[in-house]
Structure 1
Amino acid sequence: MADASTLKVYHLPGAWGLPTVSPFCLKLDAWLRMTGIPHESITAPTPFAGPKGKAPWIELDGKKLGDSTFIVAHLAERFGVDPDAHLTPAQHGVAVAIQRLIDENLYWTMVHDRWMNEANWKQFRDIVLGGLALPVRRVLGPIARRGVKKQLEGHGIGIHEPEEIAAIGRRDVNALAAILGDQDWFFGDTPSTIDAVAYAQLVNIWRAPFESEVRRAIGQTPNLVAFIDRFAAKYYS
């Protein structure tokens, strides 16, 4: 019988040298590397087995838990780790605001690029659904794409024209570049959770070989490119 105290982490498949093509899954993976919590990493072909129907999710102490933010908070308490202990109250507040920008806005510009751009989708569908048999993939692909389109429209970003969505993404990228400035990490000399959040999203745009105005915007911000490389060298070398 498996040990229920062993942390099992389920994430979506990887590509482009990344362990997973999901920024939320990669955020959790990066945070676990940052904190050194021992775990077993498992690639799931779809997110549907998770308790919220999304990835990532974990199994620990005989229970399943979904949503990367909730998982991080739970694991920090469960294992007594806090990579944000050096932050001031004001910095904690800024970190929440930065995470909202990334998770609730910049992320959706990436989703639009991957799923709604026809050329990009033809490449991405075989990555994100690559763990499924081809006949299943052919049936599930259009269904999943329609579902994502509804999510984009429900969020609000999906009602805009592609060039308007690109402009939103460029503003987000430029805001992150301005906040980072000439620092190594978003709050100075020591990495914290927000660095894992930013890395996971930015590298998933930067490394993906897709047509994307937002990707070009990252390339025009040398400090963000250097940040991506710095994080990868520290935690993924």
Structure 2
Amino acid sequence: MDLTRDFIKDNKSYLAAGAVVVGATCFLYKRWRKRTRICGVDYPKDTVILHVFPGNKYIPNMGHFVMKLETYLRINKIPYQLDFNYQNGPKKKVPWIEYNGVTMGDSQLIIEYLNKQLNIDMNSHLSKQERAIAWAVQKWLEEYTYWLNVFTRWVIGWDDMMRYVNATKLMALFYTIFMKRQAVKYLYTVGVGRHSNEEIQEMVVKDLKQFSEVLGDKRFIMGETITETDCAAFGIISQIRWCTPENCPGHKLLQSDELKNVTAYLDRIKDTYWADWDDILAAAGKKGIKNNY
């Protein structure tokens, strides 16, 4: 203890200077990370910069709403680039975008903004009643099925998900201490976390079977033409099928032939709008996905 006190006393000027340097570095780094990016300088004009989670060898992106938004961009042939340098956006959520000087978060608000800017309406063929039904289906999936899958992946299947994200032992420990605890807190707040593991798994299976009934023999949810709701549905259900641990009954259900109309539906969207799917997974499996701009 005396040695420590003497060391501090003899070197207090150096320690103070070091503290100032560290503090200034941290401050400047935060300022740099949060600085306003300039369209045409930091990123190209008329191109959506989509800030996302990294992908893996199972699915192009592990974010349900990232898959929703990127599918929307692909369907409407909107130029975009991916930024995998993980950081939260203006709403502290991922995905978020930068577009012609505008920074925006929340996948649905982003879609509605781009619809106005680019004169897009994927639901133009629907009646008012059909639009309301499509919205109800979308909100059911996003506000309920999504949370069931979060519980399945990040509580029940936590250990398996650590392999999905290629976490080292140290990373897995960090995730367990901080992220898992946060996930459990969120899930309890929304209500899903108050159920048992068995109840959650039953709910997932029931949800998928109900979706199968809604879909029926239609090409897409609302008929022969794809809508915004299909973007959301693909974003949610693709995660259950391709990036949820095998011990999840919902995952097993979508790997079987029981819900053929749902698996065919997912394949239809993937094959039509994600022609580079296998290439993306192969790149992620070999060396990880890097920022591409």
**Distance of 1:127 and 1:112 partners within structure 2:** 16
Counterpart residue number, 2:92 = 53
Matches within 5 A, 1:57-96: 57-96=96-135
C-alpha spacing 1:216/1:42, structure 2 compared with 1 (3 Å): same
Contact 2:46 2:99 in 1 (8 A): yes
Contact 1:125 1:141 in 2 (8 A): no
Counterpart residue number, 2:286 = none
For residue 179 of structure 1, the aligned residue among 214, 218, 239 is 214
Counterpart residue number, 1:213 = 249
Give 1:136 shift.
Answer: 6.0
Confirm whether residue 190 of structure 1 aligns to residue 228 of structure 2. Answer: no
C-alpha spacing 1:68/1:129, structure 2 compared with 1 (3 Å): farther
Contact 2:220 2:226 in 1 (8 A): yes
For residue 159 of structure 1, the aligned residue among 170, 184, 194 is 194
**Distance of 2:243 and 2:57 partners within structure 1:** 6
C-alpha spacing 1:104/1:128, structure 2 compared with 1 (3 Å): farther
For residue 143 of structure 2, the aligned residue among 104, 110, 114 is 104
Give 1:122 shift.
Answer: 2.2
Confirm whether residue 149 of structure 1 aligns to residue 184 of structure 2. Answer: yes
Q: Secondary structure at the match of 1:116?
A: helix
- State the Cα deviation string for residues 108-154 of structure 1 (Å, max 9, x = none): 1111111112xx32232354586xx9756643442011000000000
Contact 2:161 2:244 in 1 (8 A): no
Confirm whether residue 122 of structure 1 aligns to residue 163 of structure 2. Answer: no
What 5-or-longer segments of structure 1 have no aligned partner? none
Give 1:16 shift.
Answer: 3.8
Structure of greater Rg: 2
Counterpart residue number, 2:13 = none
**Distance of 1:146 and 1:222 partners within structure 2:** 36
Contact 1:16 1:207 in 2 (8 A): no
Paired residues, what number?
Answer: 231
What 5-or-longer segments of structure 2 have no aligned partner? 1-40, 276-293
Q: Which stretch shifts more, 133-142 or 149-158? A: 133-142
**Structure 1 length as normaliser, TM-score?**
0.90
Query: Counterpart amino acid of 1:34?
Result: I
Give 1:173 shift.
Answer: 0.9
For residue 62 of structure 2, the aligned residue among 1, 4, 21 is 21
Give the aligned CA root-mean-square deviation in angstroms.
2.0
**Distance of 2:95 and 2:244 partners within structure 1:** 23
Contact 1:84 1:192 in 2 (8 A): yes
**Distance of 2:159 and 2:199 partners within structure 1:** 23
**Distance of 2:178 and 2:77 partners within structure 1:** 38
